[in-house]
Amino acid sequence: MIIDFEHHYTPIETWTKRGGKKGQVVRMFSPEGKEIRPLYDADHDIELHLKYMDMAGIDMAVLSKNLDDLDEAKLFNESCSKVIRQYPTRLVGFASTLPLRGKAALDELDRAVLEFGMKGVTIRAQEDGQALDSHAFWPFYEKVLKLKVPIFVHVSLAAPGFDACNAPYDLNRTIVREFDLALATSRICLGGVLEEFPELKFIIGHFGGGISSIKERLDRYIGFWGAKFWNDKPLISEPYLERFNEHFQKLYFNMAGREIGLQSVQCALTNISPKRLLFGTDYPPNFVDDPKGMKEYIEVIRKLDLDKASIDGILGKNGMELLGL
């Protein structure tokens, strides 16, 4: 079983509203003028998703989408639930909602999970300018715990707080989004989230933004400074370094966002257990019209210097256990 843990779907109504045009690639920008991503026919064409999955050898995809408007989130949940019912052995969905928008947004999460059978919920690395260790998220985390579903942390398409990365070339999509995910990963582990909600299950996109490349530095500073690592009082309990690593080892990381990311895979395996890695493509922004590339990525993973059980886990069994499939 091969499961794609980052596979995006957009209802055609939302796609059209955003300027999508059949047969054309349309570039989409944020209000600040940052390019977000192109719009493709593949965004809404679920039959094309399934065709490419078949060509790549992907058995199941987890559909997800971040949206800024609660009505659009409701539309996604309704549309996603329909295609899941149509193809129940091929597709599962992660709910869309706006976690900091109050009772109506939390009620929508209830509806998506309890009525539509969504297997998780998608949020951004920042929501409404708030980091994931903000106490504003506590009611959302409490709701997720009651629903017993994982949280997928996706990139913020135009993350605030990175003005130094403004440039006449595309640092926003290539660098900023990954910085933001690495920060979110750190905040979940260091900012009291898993201290307060130890049973929460997080899936961080894009290898945690490459958190593996700087985790050794985090370990060093936490180990050296101890309680002084925090400006006021520690937000995790003693022993601090061991506790940080305990939290880190609870996280899952998908392998999307790098196309055939062999170097990123090898880097991730230096401090992330294979049991916590989940295959992902980030289709259609990545691998658009390229099922051959998706298949090659799977083949690269199969050739890793790991035992067969670990490889099978990365490609699907870890995800099956996480989602209770």
- Report the top-level CATH class of 3-323: alpha beta
- Given a cut of 80, whether residue 36 has pLDDT beyond it is no
Reported as a pLDDT band with limits 50, 70 and 90, residue 18 is confident
Q: What is the pLDDT of residues 80-92, one digit of tens each?
A: 999 999 999 999 9
Q: What is the pLDDT of residues 247-263, one digit of tens each?
A: 999 999 999 999 998 99
From the centroid of its chain, how far is CA 314? 15
Tokens of 216: 């050794």
C-alpha closest to that of 251 among 198, 308, 320, 191: 198
C-alpha closest to that of 294 among 86, 35, 42, 26: 42
Tokens of 78: 């309704």
The pLDDT of residue 193: 98
Least confident segment among 27-41, 70-84, 195-209, 253-267 = 27-41
- Given a cut of 80, whether residue 39 has pLDDT beyond it is yes
CA distance from start to end of the chain: 11
pTM: 0.96
Reported as a pLDDT band with limits 50, 70 and 90, residue 22 is confident
